[in-house]
Amino acid sequence: MPTLNRFDDIELFFESLLIQEYKDFEIIVVDQNECSKVMEISEKYKDKLDLKYIKSDRKGLSYNRNLGILKAKGEIIAFPDDDCTYKKETIKKAVDFFESNDEYRIYSCKTMDKNNIDAFKKMCPQNCEINAKNVFDTITSITFFVNFKKDSYLLFDEKLGVGAEFGAGEEIDYILELLSKGYRGRYFCEDVIYHPAKKHKKSKEKFQRDFNYGRGFGALCKKQIIYRKDLGFSWIFIKKIVRNIGGIILSGNRDYHIATIKGRIDGFMKYRTGDKY
């Protein structure tokens, strides 16, 4: 769990871990803050949880998730945000699913706020198999668990994600890479992980953020279409671009669509896999 500029939320997440019905898990905290607050919070819980603390001197979500992955020991791995909370049965449901369904290696569920409103992200309303066509509706970074069994862990593409060159898409890319390796996954709409809704007012910062997120989406699409040779994914990219064009013409949220379409095209044009892929 990489964390930056959140403190009270971390304690809420730790408290949700303390009440888990399934107890055999570890939590790895990767602290990107310059201050010592997260370390102090972690110290409070080190005797209550199997907690590893890592201090990172570099910002970036994917980079710091990879730091955590390299310290992990379990067969099943998940990527909670520092402001999400688990229901008491969350981990148990994932573990039970894998134990009962050996052919599946990915479990995912829904995210909602604590008022049971899907204001953070609208997700698929029914249970289903996870595939490249529905991955945006069945996956967020906080909702999926991967059972690697005895396989080596997969690392995130450090070019993608908040704080990276292309500011989003790392979790979808992660799942698409697993699917390309033959992993199968199921999504469960009635299982929920809590995450607060995010609201941003119009500003230059929001325009830049929307542009960066758009770049991440464009880079992700290029990686799937060109490098994984999934030509069917082209339609997902085209539909998003068409929607942006319609939004520029018809929507009151014109700035968002301008920033996003610029980012999506720029990300698609400029992404290169490099030597790490």
For the segment 37-71, what is each residue's pLDDT rounded down to a tens digit? 999 999 999 999 999 999 999 999 999 999 999 99
Cβ-contact 107, 185 below 8 angstroms: yes
| Percentage, residues of the chain above pLDDT 90 | 90
State both tokens at 271: 């992404």
State both tokens at 230: 């999934």
Mean pLDDT of the chain: 95
CA distance 48 to 51: 8
State pLDDT tens for residues 27-38: 999 999 999 999
What is the helix, strand, coil percentage profile of the chain, to 5? 45, 15, 45
CATH 3.90.550.10, domain 2-194, yes or no: yes
pLDDT(277) > 50: no
What per-residue confidence (pLDDT) applies to 119?
66
What per-residue confidence (pLDDT) applies to 102?
97
Instruction: Calculate the CA 209 to chain-centre distance.
Output: 17
Parse the chain into domains and list their residue ranges: 2-194, 204-270
CB within 8 Å of 68: residues ≥ 6 apart: 1, 2, 28, 30, 54
| Average pLDDT score over residue span 98-126 | 92
What per-residue confidence (pLDDT) applies to 202?
65
Q: What is the pTM of this model?
A: 0.94
